[in-house]
Amino acid sequence: MNDEKPAKPVRHLLGLSGGKDSSALAIYLRDRIPEMEYFFADTGAELPETLEYIDLLEDYLGKPIAKLNARRDFDYYLKLHNNYLPSPRQRWCTINLKLLPFENYVGNDEVISYIAIRADEPSRAGYLSTKPNIKTCFPFKDDGLNKEDITQILEESGLGLPKYYSWRSRSGCYFCFFQRREEWVGLKKHHPDLYERAKEYEKGEGESGKVYTWSQAGTLDDIVNRAESAPEQKKTTPRSKKLIDRFSDSDDDKDSDESCLICTL
């Protein structure tokens, strides 16, 4: 008699960020990989529109989306980092609030993690787990799907884009430092309470009296005031601009392709 336990089946996991690409990938693979497990690493600082979209997606997929939480919240890790706000070079937020919860969720299981990098962004790189039991798979890249295909998938599903795409080009925390100037303006307009909270973090603490800012360009109020006093045509997205062009806007931003794959795809 063989006492060996049967090998645990490989898990198929798809992380949702509340962004367009991972959402489209979930829709694309729903019927192709019925055993897929979906998860969303909630930083506790997500936009309400993101949470709303995750709920809609859950209904569409017909399966629960596991909500992963970090062991501690953002404020805890901020203190741990001497109140230094995270930045593109100091991405402790991604590691603690997104990556580690994912790795804990996986444990030692053999996993295939499906990543929504498109065929038209071959050079995109970001934070991916390097644990040996986690293999990555890039279905959009492998199948040659680009931006237009993603738009089509979302439109045909009836889900469309999350509402924040009218003023912001990617998902992620409301205070994410990858936001462009216009997006901070959008945050102030659409979520004045969250804008105020983001500002609170800039106060800093401690004897040095040092003020930490989300952007090297100055405090949020500096950035927003400059944007609001800029010529009108630079502030607004033309009404005729199509969905797909708004996606392109984010690709113009130097930092966008370096932003977290796990946060914003």
According to the binding rule CB under 6 A, does residue 162 interact with ligand SF4?
Answer: no
Select from 178, 184, 195, 247 the one that contacts ligand SF4 (CB under 6 A).
178
Total of residues contacting ligand SF4 (CB under 6 A): 13
Select from 98, 118, 147, 246 the one that contacts ligand SF4 (CB under 6 A).
98
| Class of residue 201 by CB neighbours under 10 A (exposed 0-12, middle 13-18, buried 19+) | middle
- For the CB of residue 123, give the shortest distance to ligand SF4 in the complex, in Å: 19
94/85 Cα distance (integer angstroms) = 12
- For the CB of residue 172, give the shortest distance to ligand SF4 in the complex, in Å: 3
- Which residue's beta carbon is nearest to the bound ligand SF4? 172
222/199 Cα distance (integer angstroms) = 11
According to the binding rule CB under 6 A, does residue 172 interact with ligand SF4?
Answer: yes
258/254 Cα distance (integer angstroms) = 8
Segment lying near ligand SF4 (by CB under 6 A), choices 26-34, 93-101, 145-153, 232-240: 93-101
According to the binding rule CB under 6 A, does residue 263 interact with ligand SF4?
Answer: yes
- For the CB of residue 96, give the shortest distance to ligand SF4 in the complex, in Å: 8
Select from 16, 68, 93, 224 the one that contacts ligand SF4 (CB under 6 A).
93
Q: What region does 4 belong to: left with phi over 0, alpha with psi -120 to 50, or beta? A: beta
Q: Binding to ligand SF4 (CB under 6 A): which residues in 35-64?
A: 43
DSSP 64-90: PEEEEE-SS-HHHHHHHTTT---BTTB
Q: How many CB atoms lie within 10 A of CB 151?
A: 19
The two beta strands, 37-42 and 111-114, are unpaired
Q: How many CB atoms lie within 10 A of CB 9?
A: 9
Residues in contact with ligand SF4 by CB under 6 A are 43, 86, 91, 93-94, 97-98, 172-173, 176, 178, 260, 263
